Amino acid sequence: MRKAVIIGAGMVPVGEHWRLSLRDIAVEALLNAMDDAGIDRVDSLYVGNMISGSFVEQENLGALIADWAGLGNIPAVKIEAACASGGAAVQEGTKAVLSGLEDVVAVVGVEKMTDAWPSDATRYLAYAADADWELFHGASFVALNALIMRYYMKSYGYTEEDLALFAVNAHANGARNPYAMFKRPIKVETVMKSPYIADPLKLFDASPVCDGAAAVIITTPEKAQELGVSKEKWVEVAGVGRAIDTINLANRDDLLTLKAARIAADRAYRMAGVTVKEIDFFEVHDAFTVMAALSLEALGVAEKGKGAELAREGQIAIDGDYPIQTMGGLKSRGHPVGATGVYQTVEAVLQLRGEAPEGIQVPDAEIGLTQNIGGTGSNITVNVFRRV
């Protein structure tokens, strides 16, 4: 079977880019990735994006971005899986390379959220839920996660302070990432003093509304050699897995198991031929602090109900046994929804090349994992990357 390697990675800082449009940041990230690989053309483009039609009245992103990046008449398409769109786009690009149909593929994830009024942004994000049976009743996405958070704390005896530790860890790492939106450390008290948005979920349990774009270039080792890309830059896409769960949270057998993540992780581990013990760091989808805990459990890092305990024990820090959110995660780096899975990928590439910023480089990282959640766990991607 063919192998897929990432040979170029690029991004723009996550933030509120008032002067820049969706196409501006997408093209910038894409050209940064192409420059990193030292190439000026690709065979095709996959765009990870959740909801540009609602946020900026723009769909057909494949044509828009390939056209404005000067890529010519290539095939280009948008991949949508709610907040997991970025992770899914990386997978579709990888599949195109592995299939042999395309040799050099570009993947860009982009979301431009700050052009919308805040309560409209809240509405658009809830489109990832069930329109007729959740949003109809006034459920925001934050509210659905708050229902899970309260149930998690009650079921296993955790406090709001326990879950706040995930936000504290994310900020500690993000403070050293020049591309992160919030580059300052916080304390548990910072989280506890922030207002409730949907009790018991507070502002600092949640990732921010923001703008961002990130991109990678994927090809085969043979083609990478032919293109003259230095081997130091290569990172293998070793395993990919994706699965869905019920769109409606209420229809789930177990509110506290991210079944889709468990299935996706099993597939990715099998394809990569790795066990969870061999993985050096985990970029999990901490859109809300409780999701980081549930993700660690679903990925097999922690037993069921013990995810938040890893945070209490300090095991999720860079020098812990299971470093997570090494560049700030969704909480501190930011969560430009459809771009997030590609940011995670770029961050994994930097870690595995040994190019992460000082203080947040995971020592001797060889294998890294990214996990990207769409909906309340209804569409989840898990990707495993390996240093070549």
Partner 1 sequence: MGKPMQVSRHWRHFREKYRLIGGKCENGHLMFPKRDVCPVCGSRNVEEYEFSGKGKVLSWTIVRNPPSGFEYYKPYPLALVQLEEGPVVLAQLTDVDPEGIDFGMDVEMVTRKVREFDEDGIILYSYKFRPVLK
Q: Which of 148, 186, 235, 311 binds partner 1 (CB under 8 A)?
A: 148
In the chain, where do the E strands start and end? 5-11, 44-48, 76-79, 105-112, 196-198, 201-202, 211-219, 235-244, 281-283, 367-374, 379-387
Show the tokens assigned to 61: 């992103």
- Least Å from the CB of residue 48 to partner 1: 24
- Determine whether 83 is an active site residue: yes
- Least Å from the CB of residue 209 to partner 1: 11
Decide if residue 138 touches partner 1 (CB under 8 A).
yes
Decide if residue 248 touches partner 1 (CB under 8 A).
yes
Cα–Cα–Cα angle for 47, 298, 236, rounded to 5 degrees: 45
Decide if residue 57 touches partner 1 (CB under 8 A).
no
The DSSP symbol for 359 reads T
Q: Which residues of 77-107 are buried (b: 16+ CB within 10 A; e: fewer)?
A: ebbbbbbbbbbbbbbbbbbbbbeeebbbbbb
Q: Which of 17, 171, 285, 335 is catalytic?
A: 335
Decide if residue 259 touches partner 1 (CB under 8 A).
no
- State which of positions 149-178 bind partner 1 (CB under 8 A): 150-151, 154
- Least Å from the CB of residue 146 to partner 1: 4
- Least Å from the CB of residue 111 to partner 1: 18
- Cβ proximity to partner 1: between 47 and 290 the closer is 290
Which residue type, as a one-letter code, is found at position 100?
G
* Best CA proximity match to 148, nearest among 139, 138, 137: 139
* Best CA proximity match to 208, nearest among 116, 111, 287, 129: 287
Q: Which of 83, 171, 210, 285 is catalytic?
A: 83
- Determine whether 210 is an active site residue: no
Decide if residue 291 touches partner 1 (CB under 8 A).
no
- Cβ proximity to partner 1: between 140 and 372 the closer is 140
Stretch that binds partner 1, among 71-79, 127-135, 160-168, 341-349 (CB under 8 A): 127-135
Rounded distance, CA 361 to CA 358, Å?
A: 6
289-298 vs 160-174: helix crossing angle, rounded to 10: 90
Decide if residue 201 touches partner 1 (CB under 8 A).
yes
8 Å CB contact between 226 and 122: no
Q: Which of 132, 254, 319, 364 binds partner 1 (CB under 8 A)?
A: 132
Stretch that binds partner 1, among 117-125, 165-173, 264-272, 377-385 (CB under 8 A): 117-125
Q: What is the DSSP string of 94-152?
A: HHHHHHTS-SSEEEEEEEE-TTS-HHHHHHHHGGGS-TTTTGGGT--HHHHHHHHHHHH
Q: Which of 69, 197, 268, 287 binds partner 1 (CB under 8 A)?
A: 197
- Least Å from the CB of residue 379 to partner 1: 16
The residues annotated as belonging to the active site are: 83, 335
Q: Which residues bind partner 1 (CB under 8 A)?
A: 117-120, 122-123, 126, 132-140, 142-144, 146-148, 150-151, 154, 195-201, 246, 248-251, 255
